[in-house]
Chain A
Amino acid sequence: MKAKHLRNRWLGLLPLGLILFLSGCGQLEMTVLDPKGPVAESQYDLIVYSLWFMLGIIVVVFALFAYMLIKYRENRPGRKESDYDPNLHGNTTIEVVWTVIPFIIVILLSIPTVTTLYDLEKPPEPEAGEEAKDPLVVYATTADWKWFFSYPEQDIETVNYLHIPTDRPIEFRLTSADSMSALWIPALGGQKYNMAGMMTKLYLEADEEGTYDGRNSNFNGEGFAAQTFKVHAESEEEFNTWAEEVKNEAPELTAERYDELLQPGLTDKESFSSTHLEYVQHHTKEGMGYVVENYREQFKKKLHLYEIEEQESFQ
């Protein structure tokens, strides 16, 4: 009686997991599984590809597991003498089989992983029939706990928000003025670290217009949760209009103003008609200690955040 009770619970796990999983996929529209650009798309493809293998493994193991528990429990009615072999301790054939199969799975998973890894180091390929565009270069610099996006081509800079044209690769040049952070826009693709004294490159691209959520995904202290930004993906014309508007209307980013903004703390969105790039080179050995040297005292203050304004939903 007890064992039967048990069996039902074990079996109950399988459909429960599946239901949860399917409802999860269907209703929540999870950002990572709803890609809005070719980079996120390639990662999505890889995830789904691997998911099939994983589901296969889960089904096989769960089935074997359930079979063993049901068939070989001690007090199963109708157990036969032949159902017990206490000295059975090996079988070379089957052991070779279950070593080789995982090996094959690893090989099958490795191939697309490696090719995708190499692809992600380059700007995404244009769709068939379209000509390749030069990537738009955006310097994404973090300082505790804000984002600076510098557009050298347009000679403008934004704080805590980002505009990008659709269907054109964006080449993010990531660096940090102080703590290590990471640029993550899940709808557009995976993240990479921003590190002081270094510059990392991350290619992303949006192929649908919309507003996406971006954030620092690497914990870097008290203001971490507030270090987010919105990504406005719009057509090339709209983007150019916006850039011109900022260029014409926004104030210049002076060295003094930039220094002020670098102080640890939270700031609102801002726009400037010039960039900080000539003032400090955070990615160089000379520039990596700039903030820490200047604002050492201010890192001692605590923010004690209790709330941060509620964010709009992910698109």
Chain B
Amino acid sequence: MHITDILVTGEPIIYGAMVSMALVGIALFFLLTYFKKWGWLWREWLTTVDHKKIGVMYILSALLMLFRGGVDAMMMRVQLAFPDLGFLNSQHYNEIFTTHGTIMIIFMAMPFLIGLMNIIVPLQIGARDFAFPYLNALSFWSFFFGMALFNISFVIGGSPDAGWTSYTPLSGAAMSPGPGQNFYLMGLQLSGIGTLATGINLMVTILKMRAPGMKLFHMPIFTWSTLVTCFIIVFAFPILTVALALLTIDRIFGSQFFTLTGEGLPMMWANLFWMWGHPEVYIVILPAFGIFSEVIATFAKKRLFGYNVMVWSMIVIALLSFLVWVHHFFTMGAGAFVNSVFSISTMLIAVPTGVKIFNWLATLYKSKIEFTVPMLWSLAFIPSFILGGVTGVMLGMAAADYQFHNSYFLIAHFHYVLIAGTVFACFAGLVFWYPKMFGHKMNERLGKWAFWLFFFGFHVCFFPQYFLGLDGMPRRLFITNVVEWLPLNVISTVGAFGMGLGFIVFVYNVYYSFRYSERETTGDSWNGNGRTLEWATTTPVPYYNFATVPYVDEIDPYVRMKEEGKTTFEESKVKPIHMPSYTGQPFIMMAFLGLASFGLVFEWMYVAVFGLLGGVVMMIRRSFDYDDGYYVPVEEIKRTEKKARGL
């Protein structure tokens, strides 16, 4: 096989991407070598099992993917606003919207939120790490290699082009030959291992490792949202795993589960995909709700209104999320009865969601609203999400959905909920907890610029798309060849660039704040308004999190701790702390499985078998691994705490 058979050739844009990727790679290599940072990279990051560092790596990867997915989006918007340029051809456009969707959901939204959960949840419940720190590192590396595999597809082998839903029979071997679709299958499968493991890991952590006295209904709302999300992950992801495996076997080994030949059932894919896919939507929105609740309560300087109702509404949403999948294909002709049932179950979700919205509004009632950047993102969420929510109900009305389905009305709707919900929450959460992660805040002025650019860009981009949908413009169309659709598409593109600009300002702010922001001296970074345990730790958070874990028997425990002058360092109670050892095994194991996946993508069975064997050997090694971690001596804890607290 010749190299040009594997590399994607003939596309100037892709050549450009190849060159820039190579340059960045070379630059990184030289920088690491020049500053002698290879050892540091391995010891501090690649082998870490510290939940905070793993969280940071998740968030960095997610930001990188937000960039990649965003560039995909810009390219689509340019093509749709200027159809005469001949910027993208149909094949290229199809690849781009496929990678855009897949990356934004699987490799941006989820890891961003999982990153925040990684860092914050143990701190909120008074835990010193995850229940299974080794497994947590494993999860990250499985996500990382899955992401890497998916992303190299556009320079090696060609990107998948059947949409992020990858409907069969289109995505089967007959109609989508070549490695593109295999990249999708293996990338998702590999990273799916990590997501499922994280779901179990966080669930156990939350259920078993809470601070003494902390009952479930004392937990911070973000932790609650994480727990509910974990249940959804554990029940939903196995469906995806099975579906992906069946389609992989179809494509690579010639079975006929979803094929048109051999009495396959192509429509079964749509069912399996959405049985996972709809709960997946809630996997990325519930933690967002949790973040907004934390931020709004903090900057309203007030207890969250209706805490119990907030929790129960999340549980109800989680249950309902498994009962609505058919609404993604009302038009499959399942009949009036089936569509009626799923129509009503879909609209029912609006009830608990509406209750949450009212609870947030009530939290603002008789409060003292401070307009910080995280608060701006959270406040902007409410009106924006309402627009996405009501159009969601309209889409849920099956008879009307026959007109909305597959149109830009749908596109506008899910971007309104996913951006105003998930992306706003990612920004809000990141800015909010930034001082906990990096020891300094992000610059407020630049933060506001980023916010307003992104916020207005978002509305200008997606609001017109509702009308494009009502005018009959279908999704996934590579060219705007109906004259009436052009003006609104141009407006939409302008908005998209506004969002892009906002993102650039945000990234610049990361650099600017690193250089110029004041370093935090206290742990309670937001003017002493912290309400939950993460703010009780010092900044930077010591690797063992809590020198002494406080006794908690109420919601917002840190409010009272501050009143009573209690801290997480009660010198007389300090005992040696048991911590897990760093290990390179998760990285190596997942590198092997990544290699196996790569082999399967190109159907090079020797490579696949070698990678798989490597993975199995690493698993056997783990089984005979008797490293129980180590104890942090009392002296070291005292020294660290005194230094951090300036005692």
Q: In the complex the two chains form, is B406's CB within 8 Å of A191's CB?
A: yes
Give the residues in chain A near B343, CB-CB below 8 Å: 110, 113-114, 117
CA gap between A239 and B91 in the complex, in Å: 39
Which of A90-98, A149-157, A163-171, A241-249 is the interface stretch? A90-98
CA gap between A213 and B472 in the complex, in Å: 9
Q: In the complex the two chains form, is A292's CB within 8 Å of B169's CB?
A: yes
**Does residue A103 face the partner (Cβ distance < 8 Å to B)?**
yes
Q: In the complex the two chains form, is B344's CB within 8 Å of A32's CB?
A: no
**Does residue A197 face the partner (Cβ distance < 8 Å to B)?**
yes
B175's nearest neighbour on chain A, judged by CB, is A299
Whether A120 contacts B402 in the complex (CB less than 8 A), given A17-B463, A98-B358, A103-B351, comes out as yes
**Does residue A77 face the partner (Cβ distance < 8 Å to B)?**
no
Q: In the complex the two chains form, is B471's CB within 8 Å of A30's CB?
A: yes
Q: Could you write out 13 A-B pairs with CB less than 8 Å apart?
A: A43-B399, A47-B403, A50-B397, A72-B364, A85-B366, A86-B301, A114-B340, A178-B260, A191-B405, A215-B474, A300-B177, A303-B90, A314-B471
**Does residue A257 face the partner (Cβ distance < 8 Å to B)?**
no
CA gap between A229 and B362 in the complex, in Å: 52
**Does residue A240 face the partner (Cβ distance < 8 Å to B)?**
no
Q: Which 7 residue pairs spanning A and B have beta carbons closest together?
A: A190-B402, A200-B333, A289-B261, A116-B399, A68-B364, A219-B476, A186-B472
Q: In the complex the two chains form, is A180's CB within 8 Å of B170's CB?
A: yes
Q: In the complex the two chains form, is A62's CB within 8 Å of B476's CB?
A: no
**Does residue B339 face the partner (Cβ distance < 8 Å to A)?**
yes
A6's nearest neighbour on chain B, judged by CB, is B371
Q: In the complex the two chains form, is B399's CB within 8 Å of A113's CB?
A: yes
CA gap between A177 and B130 in the complex, in Å: 52
Q: In the complex the two chains form, is A88's CB within 8 Å of B366's CB?
A: yes
Q: In the complex the two chains form, is B340's CB within 8 Å of A113's CB?
A: yes
Whether A109 contacts B169 in the complex (CB less than 8 A), given A28-B471, A68-B364, A195-B332, comes out as no
Chain B positions near chain A (C-beta within 8 angstroms): 83, 86, 89-91, 94, 161-163, 167, 169-170, 174-178, 259-263, 266-267, 300-309, 329, 331-333, 335-336, 339-340, 343-344, 347-348, 350-351, 354-355, 357-359, 361-362, 364-371, 379, 382-383, 386-387, 390-391, 393-394, 397-403, 405-407, 459, 463-464, 467, 469-472, 474-479, 481-484, 488
CA gap between A200 and B332 in the complex, in Å: 8
Whether A47 contacts B400 in the complex (CB less than 8 A), given A61-B386, A68-B365, comes out as yes
Q: In the complex the two chains form, is A106's CB within 8 Å of B344's CB?
A: yes
Q: In the complex the two chains form, is A69's CB within 8 Å of B379's CB?
A: yes
**Does residue A8 face the partner (Cβ distance < 8 Å to B)?**
no
Q: In the complex the two chains form, is B307's CB within 8 Å of A182's CB?
A: no
Give the residues in chain B near A198, CB-CB below 8 Å: 267, 333
Q: In the complex the two chains form, is A224's CB within 8 Å of B476's CB?
A: yes
Q: In the complex the two chains form, is B382's CB within 8 Å of A225's CB?
A: no
**Does residue A235 face the partner (Cβ distance < 8 Å to B)?**
no
Partner of A32, one of B91, B459, B472: B472
Partner of B259, one of A74, A113, A200, A289: A289
CA gap between A50 and B260 in the complex, in Å: 39
Known: A213-B482, A224-B94. 12 other contacts (CB 8 A): A28-B467, A54-B390, A73-B371, A116-B399, A117-B339, A117-B399, A180-B267, A187-B472, A191-B402, A197-B266, A221-B161, A222-B91
**Does residue A128 face the partner (Cβ distance < 8 Å to B)?**
no
Q: In the complex the two chains form, is B170's CB within 8 Å of A221's CB?
A: yes
Q: In the complex the two chains form, is B344's CB within 8 Å of A110's CB?
A: yes
Q: How far is the CB of B57 from chain A (nearest CB, A)?
A: 34
Whether A224 contacts B403 in the complex (CB less than 8 A), given A102-B355, A314-B472, comes out as no
CA gap between A90 and B303 in the complex, in Å: 10
Q: In the complex the two chains form, is A109's CB within 8 Å of B393's CB?
A: yes
B165's nearest neighbour on chain A, judged by CB, is A219
Give the residues in chain A near B406, CB-CB below 8 Å: 182, 184, 191, 217-219
Q: In the complex the two chains form, is B479's CB within 8 Å of A225's CB?
A: yes
CA gap between A222 and B478 in the complex, in Å: 9
A215's nearest neighbour on chain B, judged by CB, is B474
CA gap between A95 and B357 in the complex, in Å: 11
Give the residues in chain A near B351, CB-CB below 8 Å: 99, 102-103, 106
B97's nearest neighbour on chain A, judged by CB, is A219
CA gap between A182 and B403 in the complex, in Å: 12
Partner of B401, one of A94, A190, A196: A190
Whether A74 contacts B369 in the complex (CB less than 8 A), given A106-B350, A196-B169, comes out as yes
Partner of A57, one of B300, B344, B390: B390
CA gap between A24 and B482 in the complex, in Å: 17
Which of A130-138, A272-280, A304-312 is the interface stretch? A304-312
Give the residues in chain A near B336, CB-CB below 8 Å: 114, 117-118, 120-121
Q: How far is the CB of A282 from chain B (nearest CB, A)?
A: 10
